[in-house]
Amino acid sequence: MTLSSAHPLVDGRTTRSPLVRALRGDRPERTPVWFMRQAGRSLPEYRELRVGTAMLDACLNPAMASEITLQPVRRHGVDAAVFFSDIVVPVKLAGVGVEIVAGRGPVLESPIRSASDVLALRPIDPAALDPIREAVALTVAELGETPLIGFAGAPYTLASYLVEGGPSKDQGRARAMMYADPHAWAALLNWCADVSGEFLKAQVEAGASAVQLFDSWVGSLSRRDYQRRVAPHSARALSHLRGIADADDRHVPKIHFGLGGGEFLDVMRDVGADAVGVDWRIPLDEASRRLGGTTPLQGNIDSALLAAPWSTLRSHVDEVLDRGLAAPAHVVNLGHGVPPETDPDVLTRIVRVVHGEL
């Protein structure tokens, strides 16, 4: 399986984009910037469009998902779009009962707690991902030279939702299963890896020029548990892109982001990532040192400063840019997603600062 001749990295539309260049280890004239969760609740045009449509229905409506993906690109002039979807979309498409409850997050109809619950999970039918392919294709046709970033949840974060049944404080039940029933745990993480891997593959085949694997809950793990019981499954998720995204000039760069993963950034890179996303807890120069100075970094404006006076935020952004120079390449982002109450004009101003226009 290879990328089609109409893929933006094959026909060359996004090959020279600042984002793709930086993720491949280069320093383009303009430092690229995008924001995790840029498509969503901080934008009035998003809220308006979403009235009367449930979150997962919006994700499975190709025209709507595409329009929401494009909104922040038009408004902020960011260097990439991130596909509007959710980490639980492929879980739902694999037949698991899940909903996204506003203000709470994904909630499971029946949590996966035993080996027999894990055995009952079915693989995802590739045809179920058609609405995703369609939404990506519509979006890429509008984006021109701006790359689309596809994404998926990493197996640990997905499994945490499946076992806990919803958001949880420290993933206690999931981590208990890891020790109480290591075989069921491994089978569950493999299932999650395959579901996320197929979700990534569908997005890349339909035109995404980069991908990000989100491991939002790894902060609850020790380095040892991450290394032994989680990382091999994250590698398996990314391995679904093998063969379609290997050749040098067509290589689809992979970003690996983990919230609270500062103690094992190297392990996160070594699952097959080209770049590592860093949260706000570790300065980029220190993160680069921990990675041996050879890995492109993404990050790490502290979202808490988005509401601070502009002069405070501005010096923080300048410091992030400065520390980012320690890495071979830098993609500016937040240390985590855009909080819903963020003033969107502040995000636009950050883009202008990073682009040297302000």
Q: How many Å apart are CA 159 and CA 177, to the nearest integer?
A: 10
Peptide bond into 61 cis (omega under 30): no
87 binds ligand CP3, rule: CB under 6 A: yes
Closest C-alpha among 112, 107, 37, 15 to residue 340: 37
297 binds ligand CP3, rule: CB under 6 A: no
Whether residue 219 contacts residue 259, with contact meaning beta carbons closer than 8 Å, is answered with yes
Residue 8 in tokens: 């933006």
Q: Does the annotation count 41 as an active-site position?
A: yes
If DSSP codes are grouped into helix, strand and coil, which group holds residue 288? helix
| C-beta of 37 vs 254, nearer to ligand CP3 | 37
Please identify which residue in 37, 113, 323, 349 interacts with ligand CP3, judged by CB under 6 A.
Answer: 37
Q: Does the annotation count 250 as an active-site position?
A: no
Q: Does the annotation count 290 as an active-site position?
A: no
- Name the segment binding ligand CP3 (CB under 6 A); options: 12-20, 80-88, 220-228, 277-285: 80-88
Helices (H) and strands (E) in the chain, counts: 16, 9
Rounded to a whole number, what is the distance in angstroms from the first to the last CA of the chain? 44
| Annotated active-site residue in 13, 24, 113, 161 | 161
Q: How far is the CB of 293 from ligand CP3 (least distance, A)?
A: 27
- Name the segment binding ligand CP3 (CB under 6 A); options: 78-86, 130-138, 179-187, 284-292: 78-86
- What is the total count of residues that contact ligand CP3 (CB under 6 A)? 26
| C-beta of 198 vs 328, nearer to ligand CP3 | 198
Please identify which residue in 42, 66, 171, 216 interacts with ligand CP3, judged by CB under 6 A.
Answer: 216
* Residue 86 neighbours by CB distance under 10 Å: 18
152 φ/ψ angles, rounded to the nearest 5 degrees: -155, 160
Report in angstroms the alpha-carbon separations of 291 from 92, 255, 264.
36, 14, 9
Interface with ligand CP3 in residues 52-71 (CB under 6 A): 55
Q: Does the annotation count 161 as an active-site position?
A: yes
Q: Does the annotation count 86 as an active-site position?
A: yes
337 binds ligand CP3, rule: CB under 6 A: yes
Q: How far is the CB of 2 from ligand CP3 (least distance, A)?
A: 26
Beta bridge pairs of residue 33: 332
Please identify which residue in 14, 17, 31, 38 interacts with ligand CP3, judged by CB under 6 A.
Answer: 38
| C-beta of 193 vs 328, nearer to ligand CP3 | 193
158 binds ligand CP3, rule: CB under 6 A: no
| C-beta of 192 vs 328, nearer to ligand CP3 | 192
Q: How far is the CB of 220 from ligand CP3 (least distance, A)?
A: 13
Interface with ligand CP3 in residues 165-184 (CB under 6 A): 167
Whether residue 140 contacts residue 6, with contact meaning beta carbons closer than 8 Å, is answered with no
Give start and end residues of each alpha helix (H) in the chain. Answer: 18-23, 44-50, 55-59, 62-76, 89-93, 115-119, 130-143, 155-164, 172-180, 182-206, 223-229, 231-239, 265-270, 284-290, 310-324, 344-354
Q: How far is the CB of 247 from ligand CP3 (least distance, A)?
A: 27
- Strand pairing report for 105-108 and 98-101: antiparallel
9 binds ligand CP3, rule: CB under 6 A: no
| Annotated active-site residue in 37, 75, 175, 349 | 37
Amino acid at 163: V
195 binds ligand CP3, rule: CB under 6 A: no
185 binds ligand CP3, rule: CB under 6 A: no
Q: Where is 3: in which H helix or E strand?
A: none
Tell me the catalytic residues.
37, 41, 50, 86, 161
Residues that bind ligand CP3 (CB under 6 A): 36-41, 50, 55, 82, 84-87, 100, 102-106, 151, 153, 157, 167, 214, 216, 337
